[in-house]
Amino acid sequence: MAKRKRKIKPTNIAALVLTFAAVLLLVYFARGLVPAEIDDTVSTETTTATTTTPTTAPATEATTIPTEATTEATTEEPHELTTEEQALEILSGMSLREQVYQLFIVRPEQITGSSEKITETGSDFEEGLETYPVGGIAMFAENIIDREQTVEMISDMQSYSSLGLFITVDEEGGTVARIGNNSEMGTTKFPSMKTIGNTSDTDEAYNVGYTIGTEIMELGFNLDFAPVADVDSNPGNTVIGNRAFSTDADIAAEMVAAAVEGFNDSGILCTLKHFPGHGDTGTDSHLGYTELDKSLDELWETEFIPFSSGIEAGADLVMVGHISVPQVTGDDTPASLSATMINILRNDLGFSGLIITDSMQMEAITDRYTSAEAAVMAIEAGVDIILMPENLEEAANGIIEAVENGEISEERIAESVLRILEVKIEAGIL
């Protein structure tokens, strides 16, 4: 008997279509290819996930994301280096020898080797500065003839230096005024600081600092070795006398602070001198051994008062004298070479600026130490700048050898050089 053909019901056809469609959707889901219009019930999370997979739009994502990153990078403000970052960048490119010579401020004659006082600089100075790349030059009355000559000489010296030079002078007013006492310079001539102090008017002291600073800055100087922060407490003292503001420590302190503010407002760097105090010594450190016979408590009661006041007012440098303080240090080492005295200045008085020695050509130093010995002792003690060693090359080589044999660490040198560079950057010298 012939078989009857099986008739497929419409309902079965519909079921097959639905089944096929479901399978197709599953395949699409598995491959991430389901278009939004096929199933608008797909969740937002699912859509986001599927549209960010590499199979959906790899070319678009690869080109879009970097473009956005590039846009952000170009629209960001460039990072402005801090003073410390600038100084570190410069320091990183300096050799040990270049770093060591930054620790010295010398007379211009020490660069050229001239036995005569020089009033102009040329190729000999330029060549000398390449050999001895010092941190600064100290000018004296013999180097200063008139305004035009001074401006030109300073400008020339600066042009020869890649790191900028401290150009310094002793311009206190009164008897110690290399510029003010030269009638050709056309600057203000001030009376002694004792006369200023006797007015008890701090505005007068401020005016001294501001006027001197403004006038010498016009000539090209950027650092003044003033004001004197000593107290004239010993009538027999032959080196300070009327250079100090007062015989009273408190009055001296007020005047020193006002003078520092004046210097600061003028834009010139200034220096407190001669730490720990030269006003109560019986001898002159220019001429030999000098002692301050006081305890630490006594120094706080008198000598330290003006220095503390000047530091608080914002003095940039402190000059340490070649003054022995045996009651404090336990020996006759000059303060300029004594770690004990430098630590007191740094830690107890809280001075964070540049510490500089008094001239190393003074007999309080040269009678007892070679240039190399004195320079090494000063750096070991914590001094930043050595002023006018008797023999520059010997002093610098002494420090270099001390680093090479491990007596002084490279970090110790870098510490002072970094401090010097930061001051130069802040002052616009570098």
3-state secondary structure of 357: strand
Q: What is the pLDDT of residues 178-194, one digit of tens each?
A: 999 999 999 999 999 99
For the purposes of burial, counting CB atoms within 10 Å of the CB of 402, is it exposed (0-12), middle (13-18) or buried (19 or more)? buried
pLDDT over 50 at 59, yes or no: no
Active site residues: 286, 358
Q: What is the pLDDT of residues 319-367, one digit of tens each?
A: 999 999 999 999 999 999 999 999 999 999 999 999 999 999 999 999 9
Q: What is the mean pLDDT of residues 19-26?
A: 48
What are the start-end ranges of the H helices in 170-226?
Answer: 193-198, 202-217
Taking all residues of the chain, what is their mean pLDDT, rounded to a whole number? 87
pLDDT over 50 at 129, yes or no: yes
* CA gap 292, 278 in Å, rounded: 8
User: Taking a C-beta distance cutoff of 8 angstroms, is the pair 388, 360 a contact?
Assistant: yes
Token pair, residue 41, equals 């019930």
pLDDT at 12: 45
User: Taking a C-beta distance cutoff of 8 angstroms, is the pair 197, 245 a contact?
Assistant: yes
pLDDT at 50: 40
pLDDT at 167: 98
Q: What is the pLDDT of residues 67-91, one digit of tens each?
A: 444 445 455 677 899 999 999 999 9
pLDDT over 70 at 40, yes or no: no
* CA gap 220, 150 in Å, rounded: 8
Tracing tokens 């309080």 back to the chain, one arrives at 364
Q: Which residues contact 310 (CB under 8 A, 6 or more apart)?
A: 227, 229, 253, 256, 257, 260, 272
CA dihedral 277, 281, 284, 285 (to 10 degrees): -50
Listed in order, strand segments (DSSP E) in 228-340 are 269-275, 317-320
Q: What is the pLDDT of residues 232-282, one digit of tens each?
A: 999 888 899 999 999 999 999 999 999 999 999 999 999 999 999 999 998
User: Taking a C-beta distance cutoff of 8 angstroms, is the pair 280, 325 a contact?
Assistant: no
CA 374 to chain centre: 24
CA distances from 167 to 135, 180, 191 (A): 9, 17, 24
Q: What is the pLDDT of residues 131-189, one digit of tens each?
A: 999 999 999 999 999 999 999 999 999 999 999 999 999 999 999 999 999 999 999 99
Token pair, residue 429, equals 């010298």
CB atoms within 10 A of CB 152: 14
Global pTM reads 0.82
Q: What is the pLDDT of residues 214-225, one digit of tens each?
A: 999 999 999 999
pLDDT over 70 at 44, yes or no: no
pLDDT at 22: 52
Instruction: Specify the range with the lowest mean pLDDT, choosing from 29-33, 307-311, 388-392.
Output: 29-33
* CA gap 326, 114 in Å, rounded: 39
pLDDT at 34: 43
pLDDT at 236: 86
User: Taking a C-beta distance cutoff of 8 angstroms, is the pair 256, 312 a contact?
Assistant: no
pLDDT at 285: 84
pLDDT at 283: 81
pLDDT at 76: 67
